[in-house]
Amino acid sequence: MKIKALLTGVALAQLLLAPGIVARLLKTARGTRLPSLPTSQQGEQACLSIIVPVLNEYTRLTPCLEGLLQQGDEVAEVLVVDGGSCDGTQELVRTFQRRDPRIHLLDASPVPPEWNGKAWGLHIGEQYSATSSHWLLTIDADVRPAPNLVHSLLAYAEQTNLAALSLATLQEIAGVGQGLLHPALLTTLVYRFGIPGHVIRNVHTVQANGQCFLVQRAVLAQVGGFQTVQDSLCEDITLARRLVTHGHAVGFYEAGSLARVRMYDHWRETWQNWTRSLPMHDRFSGWHTLLGWLEILFVQALPLPLLLFLVFTQQRYRPLLLLNSILVALRLGVLSGTARAYQRRPWSYWLSPLCDLPVAYKLATSLLRRRHLWRGRVIYRDGGMR
């Protein structure tokens, strides 16, 4: 009787939560893809500053800077803001400075204890950026930009009159472990927020990616700049939510190979680091954070193990068996759809739903934990670094 009551409770939760996810996926299914435009051969007016916050990025920064060197005349400057590297990152940046005078190195160390290190780097970059730049573009050190990235971003933003937009970058993963884990983590975003490709005006449906985030300088200043996200573990989401609460539309789009990224070299890094910010909990999220986690648990994570349990134990709960068969089919459909988010997929990609339950557990523990460790620094949710 206890098992039956438990299964009944799970079924009721799934019946309550699944329709919202299905409706979200259907609503966002036909999204716009940001077009890749050839760089103009005519000299464009420099109107954009790029900010690259770094900390010990020596092994990852070269492809990023090589790509930024190839951007067009729209780029007035590339500000590499260092938070206190000790691995040769600053020396590497100086070699690029000698190749292109647009590249500047800013030493932003030490990071104040009340600040998230990346937010501090972005804040310093904003403060030192050229006042003639109408746009700011934040780029993470692990991004590999295509030569026409900036031109394509600016053209689309101006065409659609957006205050800000960011990209769902093309992911590079390798190895069995990453093939299993990374897609399961990525799918939590799809279940909670839908498919990229839309203009967002509701704070609770905001999607954003600080790996490649374009924003109008004047609009950023209007909402308080990067200082307003100084204590957020997901500064990109918090900034986008703040923009939306001030009435500005924010776009989030797939863009193919315009921006590629290899976030982590190993599945252990993915497990430890991405899950820190993936709950996307901040002062704007409220009870929606809990609702999103419940959607992940009951609609993404539980159906496959529950279906296997029902089949192998020959439990006679046909309605529950049918319901979870449908939810597993939905999960496989999403798995097929997210395949385009990866440049190459290890064979283990197709087994990634096996990681959904551990991922749900990890996100719950990350959400409840206030103290996080990142690159030797202790980060406190809503309380900066120590």
pLDDT at residue 114 in the model: 85
Helix intervals (H) in 339-384 = 356-368
Reading the block at residue 329, the tokens are 């089919």
Would you say residue 188 has pLDDT above 80?
yes
Among candidate residues 13, 83, 16, 40, the one with its CA nearest the CA of residue 375 = 83
pLDDT at residue 384 in the model: 45
Mean pLDDT of 274-296: 93
In whole angstroms, give the CA distance from residue 62 to residue 89.
10
Contacts of 213 (CB under 8 A, 6+ apart): 137, 138, 164, 165, 166, 236, 239
pLDDT at residue 382 in the model: 57
Sequence spans of domains, the chain = 1-386
Would you say residue 130 has pLDDT above 70?
yes
In whole angstroms, give the CA distance from residue 159 to residue 140.
25
Digit-coded pLDDT (tens) for 294-336: 999 999 999 999 999 998 887 778 889 999 999 999 999 999 9
pLDDT at residue 385 in the model: 45
Q: What's at 250, amino acid-wise?
A: V
pLDDT at residue 381 in the model: 62
Are 372 and 276 contacting, i.e. CB atoms less than 8 angstroms apart? yes
In whole angstroms, give the CA distance from residue 126 to residue 227.
10
Mean pLDDT of 203-215: 96
**Bridge pairing between strands 377-380 and 259-261:** unpaired
As a CATH number, domain 1-386 is: 3.90.550.10
Among candidate residues 359, 151, 164, 168, the one with its CA nearest the CA of residue 263 = 168
Residue with tokens 């893809």: 33
- φ/ψ of residue 66, rounded to 5: -60, -45
Mean pLDDT for the chain? 93
Taking the complete model, does pTM exceed 0.85, yes or no?
yes
Beta-sheet strands, E only, within the chain: 48-54, 75-82, 103-107, 135-139, 143-145, 164-168, 170-171, 198-200, 212-216, 250-254, 259-261, 371-374, 377-380, 384-385
In whole angstroms, give the CA distance from residue 345 to residue 325.
25
pLDDT at residue 231 in the model: 87
pLDDT at residue 54 in the model: 96
Digit-coded pLDDT (tens) for 23-78: 999 999 989 999 999 877 566 787 999 999 999 999 999 999 999 999 999 999 99
Mean pLDDT of 148-158: 96
